[in-house]
Amino acid sequence: MNLRIGNGYDIHCLGRDRPLILGGVKLEHELGLLGHSDADVLTHAIMDALLGALALGDIGHYFPPTDDQWKGADSIVLLQQVNQLIRDRGWQVVNIDSVVVAERPKLKPHINAMRDRLGSALELDPACVGVKATTNEKLGPEGREEGISAYAVALLSPIVTA
């Protein structure tokens, strides 16, 4: 069977006066993620997993933080572009799994909204988009609420044309 697997990781610092956007969903929180784009750490990890599956490099290559074009960019739009890049090469996403490491806020009430948002960007049933959340038990940068990190894996298969 012809399958490809990729993994992705990202971390962003938390700071004031920034929105907190995870998996394309804006969350109410007194802190948000710092970054050149909207700093959606979960969507970034997923993009790197998708690119990694085809050994196409990383998101920094396609959307460099030095390029003003991507300033404040909606990461979901970038994810759609990565999905198109994969499809253009004859591949489609089979499923995604991911973990967000955040001490606060509680992510559980928003997980399904994230799965829906990510799934529609990837033309994928939300049943094939795993999003999990964990705290870091107050350990490390995530535990001290200095940042939020995310891990993702993606499985791809060739697009079958009838």
Residue type, 36: H
Least separation in angstroms between residue 28's CB and Mg ion is 22
Binding site for Mg ion (CB under 5 A): 10, 44
67 C-beta neighbours (distance < 10 Å), count: 11
Residue nearest to Mg ion (CB): 44
Closest CB to Mg ion among 44 and 110?
Answer: 44
* 44 versus 115: smaller Cβ distance to Mg ion: 44
Cβ-contact 57, 152 below 8 angstroms:
no
Distances (CA, A) of 121 to 25, 29, 126, 133: 13, 24, 10, 20
Query: Cβ of residue 93: shortest distance to Mg ion, in angstroms?
Result: 20
The 10 Å Cβ neighbour count of residue 161 is: 5
Pure H helices in 19-58: 41-53
Tokens of 82: 């990565």
Identify the helix (H) or strand (E) that includes residue 101: strand 91-101
The CB-of-55 to Mg ion minimum distance in angstroms stands at 20
Nearer to Mg ion, 10 or 142 (CB): 10
Least separation in angstroms between CB 144 and Mg ion: 19
Nearer to Mg ion, 13 or 128 (CB): 13
